[in-house]
Amino acid sequence: MLKTTQLKKINSKPNKGISMNSKIFALLTILSMTISSYANDNSKIVAQVGTKRLELASTLIKALDQNNVCETDAYPTEINKLVQSAKYQVSKETLLVFSKSIKSNSIIKKDLAFRVAVLDQDTHIIDLNLENLKKLFTETQFHGFGSGVYGSRNNITLHADYTATVQTLELLDDEPWTKWNTSKTTWSLTKNKITGTDAIVLTLGNEQYKLVFRDGEIWLAPVGTDTDSSDNLPLDKMLSSTNSYCEA
């Protein structure tokens, strides 16, 4: 706000040689300084909020890696949403420092949604060339939609040599009650037009999937699936970048 003394000086009887334009210029200068000061204070608050979100995400990632998911609400989707919210509140340098602070073997680094969330603010996944897309996807995991106490019963890990490890959980009649069966398949990436829009297509074996960006996760849906509505989605044929936890 303009100080009363400042207004009095501007509105007082001008000295010789001081024009009306000079008074207006002085007023605008003071106003500009006031707005600039407010904007700087506001930017600092926004950056502080973003930094706190990244700090909380970092804490939850540690809980996730220690398998304290249910007790701490350290769900990958919640972590990803925190990072997505903070991404445009903090500087590129702060986002980079956060990304590098996460251990290379952390569970969250296998989540494609997390990898996309920590991309540079000016980098969009659809703009990446196929070589950089491959790097982004390599060693990520996708999971079948979980149900019951077993969570996700189908897991797929993409490897740098374009092979993929497929794990399927088999339920047994006797102890140990469950067994993971492992097989291999192949994967590849292309950039195609789907309904007139640029899209990334992931091929697993003989099946083609499109990426569907959801809040805190990325789905793989068979090409041709209508994902604009949540009704009648073929969840048994879809995969998510995020594993299922604490299902009952």
Residue 13 pLDDT greater than 70, yes or no: no
CA distance 111 to 81: 13
Query: Is pLDDT above 70 for 75?
Result: yes
Q: Would the pLDDT of 215 be above 90?
A: no
Task: Note the pLDDT tens digit of each residue in 26-68.
Answer: 666 666 665 555 556 678 899 999 999 999 999 999 999 998 8
Average pLDDT value over all residues in the chain:
84
Instruction: Please report which confidence band the pLDDT of residue 23 belongs to, taking 50, 70 and 90 as the band edges.
Output: low
**What backbone torsions phi and psi does residue 196 show, to the nearest 5 degrees?**
80, 5
**Of the candidates 3, 27, 31, 28, the residue with the CA atom closest to the CA atom of residue 14:** 27
Q: In the chain, helix, strand, coil percent, each to 5?
A: 45, 25, 35
Residue 178: its pLDDT value, please? Answer: 87
- Tens-place pLDDT, residues 144-185: 986 656 667 889 999 999 999 999 989 899 998 889 999 999
Between these two residues, 138 and 71, which has the higher pLDDT value? 138
pLDDT band at 10 (very low <50, low <70, confident <90, very high): very low
Task: Please state, in angstroms and rounded to a whole number, the distance separating the CA atoms of residues 166 and 180.
Answer: 10
> Are 125 and 119 a contacting pair, CB within 8 Å?
yes
Residue 25, pLDDT above cutoff 70: no
CA distance 12 to 171: 88
Q: Quick one: pLDDT at residue 2?
A: 46
pLDDT at residue 8 tops 60? no
pLDDT score, position 63: 95
Q: How far apart are CA 63 and CA 68, in angstroms?
A: 5
Beta bridge pairs of residue 155: 143, 167
